[in-house]
Amino acid sequence: MDLRDVLSRNETLMEVLGRAADLALPGWYLAAGCVCQTVWNVLTGRRPTNGIKDYDLIYFDDTDLSWEAEDAVIRSAGEVFGDVPVEVRNEARVHLWYEEKFGIPCRPYTSSEDAIDSFPSIACCLGVRLDGGGEWQVYAPYGVADAFNLVLRPNRALAPREVYEAKAVRWQREWPELRVAPWA
């Protein structure tokens, strides 16, 4: 079973991928929780959409770092996705708000891939998209073994310990099969 086969079982994820491709956002990926959680659901025999609260659509546009520019993309995406819970974020702007939210500074990212590299758990450092021809593009800087082995391991690249541990607690409640590696 490969990643594309597993993800294809989540009809909502596939719908979001198709619609996101039409938006043609620069450097976009469907990333993080919705990707690894679909894997966990399929591997544990749950509905593919079980426990997924939203679909993270990230992109990278450093030509305009204003909130107004990002908000315009968010509003446009809201029209495209309708009632599907899609959270849209411009990764070029993360450094502008990260420290206020999480208490530590974040250097400016250089790409969506750079942002994915720093997600809190190795298993969630995943991004997928469909290119203009419908071909899969997968970015998995640390591979997909942790996701497929139901292992949560901290990625200390950026996220504070509290962020990783809070996600681990929440996710293990939903997927008790997960083996959680401690921060230390």
Give tens-digit pLDDT for 129-151. 988 777 899 999 999 999 999 99
- The pTM for the full model equals 0.93
- Structural domains counted in the chain: 1
Give tens-digit pLDDT for 32-64. 999 999 999 999 999 999 999 999 999 999 999
**Range of the structural domain that residue 30 is part of:** 3-180
Q: Which residues contact 152 (CB under 8 A, 6 or more apart)?
A: 121, 122, 123, 146, 167, 168, 171, 172, 178, 179, 180, 181
Q: Is the alpha carbon torsion for 53, 32, 37, 124 positive or negative?
A: negative
Q: Which of 96, 77, 102, 88 has its CA nearest to residue 158?
A: 102
